[in-house]
Amino acid sequence: RKEVEQDPGPFNVPEGATVAFNCTYSNSASQSFFWYRQDCRKEPKLLMSVYSSGNEDGRFTAQLNRASQYISLLIRDSKLSDSATYLCVVNTLYNFNKFYFGSGTKLNVKP
């Protein structure tokens, strides 16, 4: 079983739409959670960390559900520039500072 699983998509949405991605993780000892964004042929870049109480950064909201072992990302008022692949990342500090990556969910925002 993969450490981190995501729906690969693609999610095709019109501009202005709200879209949500979920990601599940298998290790209950996981301690830190992140969403990264990766544009085509570019390196992954941190979008936001995910905190236990949930957190918001502008149009982006991240939630963590430890009981069900999943994290989510909500994007409101989608922009064309949001088109990218979104990677769910989990960190387990007990195994040094090792990061586990999902395969990514592709988002296409259409005009």
Partner 1 sequence: NAGVTQTPKFRVLKTGQSMTLLCAQDMNHEYMYWYRQDPGMGLRLIHYSVGEGTTAKGEVPDGYNVSRLKKQNFLLGLESAAPSQTSVYFCASSYSKTSNQETQYFGPGTRLLVL
Q: Which residues contact partner 1 by CB under 8 A?
A: 8, 32, 34, 41-46, 49, 87, 89, 91, 93, 96-99, 101-104
Which residue, 55, 28, 45, 39, is CA-closest to 109?
39
| Cα-based angle 109, 110, 111 (whole degrees, multiple of 5) | 130
Shortest reach from residue 109's CB to partner 1, in Å: 22
SS3 82: helix
Instruction: Report the length, in residues, of the chain.
Output: 111
Which residue, 48 or 78, has its beta carbon nearer to partner 1? 48
Residue closer to partner 1, measured from CB, 1 or 41: 41
CB of 36 to partner 1, least distance (A): 8
CA–CA gap between residue 96 and residue 38 (Å, rounded): 25
- Which CB sits closer to partner 1, 64 or 78? 64
CB of 89 to partner 1, least distance (A): 8
Secondary structure of residue 42 in the 3-state scheme: coil
Least distance from partner 1 to the Cβ atom of residue 27, Å: 14
